Amino acid sequence: MISKIPATIITGFLGAGKTTLIRHMLQNAQGRRIALIINEFGDLGVDGDILKGCGDETCREEDVMELSNGCICCTVADDFIPTMEKLLAREDRPDHIVIETSGLALPQPLVRAFNWPGISTQVTVDGVVTVVDGKAVTEGRFAHSVAAVDAQRQLDENLDHETPLSELFEDQIACADMIVVNKTDLLEGAEAEALVGTLRDSSRSGVQVVTTSMGKLPVDVLLGQGIGAEGDLDSRHELHHHHHDHSDEHDHDHDHDAFESFVVTLGEITDPKAFSDQVSTIIGAHDILRLKGFAAVSGKPMRLTLQAVGPRVETYFDQPFSDVERATRLVVIGQAGFDQAAIEAALKSCAAVH
């Protein structure tokens, strides 16, 4: 009998650090060949590009599959199941599957999907990992930028649940087998300890609560939990039931025109720190909610990744450009009516100076 492939579901709000956690996992996979299913959507599949190739043989480019049709829990039948079937049909099947949900996904419907015929006999949910922005939750905001999460919500035309962030957070905690409190470097020791205690009290018995910064979690802690979550749905039921009704009578009043996104292409930059600082200033001046992408730095063969939620910009070099054109590409998300021309001009001016 062929053993089931373990799958880890990683959930958490926009900006909590899911992609950073996965990137660290790939770089320290200890020989495991991992396939990724990424619930990225928008104009630029940055999360997928950040992760492609960063694990070399651990996670090849063809092992990264992106679901770009919106929130994964709302597109299970149309998007997730066919992707899983395609992955399982390969001759060189992976050792482990990791699924990064969008920040708005309800984890319970996704876990439930692993009981579908054809999936249940081949894959098991090794564990559900909920990544928490420790600083934001301590301050009662759940996400570093609530506005950025709302922008993501408005841009997803297939989203059919309007769950308040506080309730969605509770559902993510209720479904978790492990809660990763990220960004603890931004907390005082007493704050981190208090948050860990609160999360332990509000989660199921036996749920692990671990702390980290920059997603640096040992792969043996993250993978290999052996939970079999799809057989344990009763204990992780939704605290707030969300009926994903796709009938014509369902009201999809999301006001998707309230937010806009566009891509800016620039040339090479010379000073990454100065450029990052100036980008942060531009974000604050123009009420940009989310900015992420890549920059080409003069004299550097590696690509610089930029990710910003609100004015906080994180940067790191991830992989060589190889045969890809050396250019700086950034996706910008904001409320409708923001001055795209002014933002693009400011970014181009910044790139020209730095």
151 contact partners, CB below 8 Å, separation of at least 6? 259, 289, 290, 333, 334, 335
Predicted structure pTM score? 0.68
First-to-final CA distance of the chain: 59
Q: Pick from 226, 116, 110, 247: which is nearest to 175 by CA?
A: 110
Structure confidence by residue, pLDDT tens digits, 144-157: 556 665 565 555 45
Rounded to whole angstroms, the Cα distance separating 107 from 119 reads 17
Mean pLDDT over each residue of the chain, to the nearest integer: 78
Average pLDDT estimate for 31-47: 68
Q: Where are the alpha helices (DSSP H) in 36-155?
A: 46-51, 81-88, 107-113, 134-138, 146-155
178: pLDDT confidence band, cut at 50, 70 and 90?
A: very high
Q: Which of 62-66, 85-89, 249-253, 262-266 has the lowest mean pLDDT?
A: 249-253
Q: Pick from 201, 323, 325, 338: which is nearest to 262 by CA?
A: 338
Rounded to whole angstroms, the Cα distance separating 163 from 153 reads 10
Report the pLDDT value the prediction gives residue 153, as an integer from 0 to 100: 52
Report the pLDDT value the prediction gives residue 194, as an integer from 0 to 100: 95
Q: Where are the alpha helices (DSSP H) in 94-188?
A: 107-113, 134-138, 146-155, 165-175
256: pLDDT confidence band, cut at 50, 70 and 90?
A: very low
Rounded to whole angstroms, the Cα distance separating 54 from 236 reads 33
What are phi and psi for residue 132, nearest 5 degrees?
Answer: -120, 135
Place of tokens 């610089």: 304
Q: Which two tokens stand for residue 270?
A: 């010379």
Q: Pick from 278, 316, 323: which is nearest to 297 by CA?
A: 316
Q: How do beta strands 64-66 and 34-38 pair?
A: parallel
pLDDT at 159 > cutoff 50: no
Rounded to whole angstroms, the Cα distance separating 347 from 341 reads 10
Structure confidence by residue, pLDDT tens digits, 100-121: 887 767 788 888 889 988 889 9
